[in-house]
Structure 1
Amino acid sequence: MNHTILCFSGTGNSYHVANRLRIAFENARIVMIPDLMDDSTVELTEAVGLVFPTYFLLPPATVVEFIETVLPKLDLSPVQYFYVVTTKNLSGGWAHSIAEILLRDRGVALSYASSVRFPNTYIPLFTAPNIMQIEFYYKHAERKILKIAQEIRKETIRPPFRPPFTRYMLEERMGRRFEKVKKSAQASFVVTSKCDGCEFCYRICPTGNIEMVYGKPIFRLNCTGCLGCYHRCPREAITFNRRVSTGHYPNHEAHFDKEYRE
């Protein structure tokens, strides 16, 4: 069975999962979701995976937008087995159940859902993990990914657990949360004198929310909350205008070097 793995990743955790799954399957490819938002020409295969992180107990806004607006434009007729794998820290919240409803409303049956634990990278609340913690998470993640790959290879049927208030979160809370997050970068990020104008943050932003003005990044109003610009800045030149936890998570282990703009 051929696999198309549709992936969204900010700091690289979800990309690592997608890449390990790609290696585990004989015929698989990764397609990054941001690349499809303006050019939905990908041909889907018999097995399709959706791999993404959990933000605020929800799917990222970009993933929701992809399911709602891009996926219906694709030819879904070859798809026989659709699976979702998320990355999370403690709780997966409503990420699986909301994805299931969104997919079902667009004619896609979700056959399998699972998740992999990684460090929490939401630096406004949590301190970045140290080397030992990263090694611990990656070691356990590798075992879980191999198990997930085996189950997917067997076409295991495992629909997601639907927590209480799923419909409420989908219809009442999610939109308001996304609107708040979209404005968060402009309201919260500060560029320090460490910035050398390398444009790396501009190139890696999955929503194109960063523009370069006079050699410095300017944040617009379409942030998805991935914090990739903060964690992956080679100069650690992006910070917050308020007190937050400390540290960065460049996540070199993921070998995530995707750039969306030149």
Structure 2
Amino acid sequence: MTKLSVNINKIATLRNARGGDLPSVTQTAVKLQEFGAQGITIHPRPDQRHITRKDVYDLKPLVHTEFNIEGNPHRSFIDMVLEVKPEQVTLVPDAEDAVTSNAGWDCEKHLGFLKNVVSELKSQGIRTSIFLDPNPEMVKFAHETGTDRIELYTEAYALNYPKDKEEAIRLYIETALEAEKYGLGVNAGHDLSLENLKYFADHIPNLLEVSIGHALISEALYLGLENTVQAYLKRLAKW
């Protein structure tokens, strides 16, 4: 079964809109795990517009499933995750002013840099994943970085799913198959939702984990958080 890691950035965004600690990022993480989430994902950015550095350290002792920290591997980010030592770090090439992640790595162009970052993280026992567009030709270079996994950037799939789901998923399947050839694990995230998740999970080989935040938190406004998590888990079930 593919694991569900819930990205709680949107909880921090809502909290920061008013100040204070409501809704509580830490309490949300605890409750999500009680409700069945198999991991907690955060994506702290330099301007701390949602997840703050304090959140990162506060969450560490509370996440007993899997802690996944995403981010652009600037030196300050690397130093922070080396201190916190989450189970997984997902390397994302987002610009500081990006509203949200909007592209995967060009692993060929940044091969030397990524090799160094991956090596440093893995030397401390941290699993690494590289955010990647659905491009089978890029998998070879991702493999050369030494990463453990790739994370498929699924915005294009989500956008095209209502029009032609078979075409929308085609390159993702090809990329996942290429990753399997190189022994890389496959994660996925960005705009996956109750509408499009099951088809994706049923067709992507070796899909180990999905990281879902915006859609899940939005749908929880209607369904309730516990019901939403259970609904996602049912869509990931293979039986």
| TM-score between the two structures when normalised by the length of structure 1 | 0.29
| TM-score between the two structures when normalised by the length of structure 2 | 0.31
Whose helix proportion is higher, 1 or 2?
2
